[in-house]
Amino acid sequence: MSNPVLHAFFLGRAFAEVLTEKIEDSLTNALSELGKFDAEQRENLRSFIEEVQAKAAQDVTQGNTAIATIDGLVSPADLQETLDKLRAEMASLKSELKNYRESSS
């Protein structure tokens, strides 16, 4: 090719075609990997849910009514007592806060 403009045109067109092919390949691979990742995460989530449900069913069939805490096991009665104490403390704090606000006004 003796015409440099014609040579530049074909060179540019070839560059664009190769670049487009590379981008398509990269995009296809990226979407494929994303699909695999999504499928794996869905499977992991499904497995986790099944494990939790199996554990809950096992606890129900064994009659485990105690609730696990950091300190150990707490029966529902102890838990209710703790909740009642917390509610009483909150009511007391609200009352003290109200008195403080009224005295500082």
Q: How many CA atoms lie within 13 A of 12 on its CB side?
A: 6
- Dist CA 67 CA 79 (whole Å): 8
Residue predicted with more confidence, 36 or 74: 36
Share above pLDDT 90 across residues of the chain, in percent, rounded to a whole number:
61
Residue predicted with more confidence, 63 or 102: 102
Compute φ and ψ for 47, nearest 5 degrees.
-65, -45
Model pTM?
0.45
Res 86 pLDDT > 90: yes
What integer pLDDT is reported at residue 21 of this predicted model? 96
Contact 11, 1 (CB under 8 A): no
Q: pLDDT per residue over 19-51, tens digit each?
A: 999 999 999 999 999 999 999 999 999 999 999
Contact 12, 6 (CB under 8 A): no
CA separation, residue 93 to residues 24, 74, 88 (Å):
65, 26, 9
Contacts of 1 (CB under 8 A, 6+ apart): 7, 10
Res 13 pLDDT > 70: yes
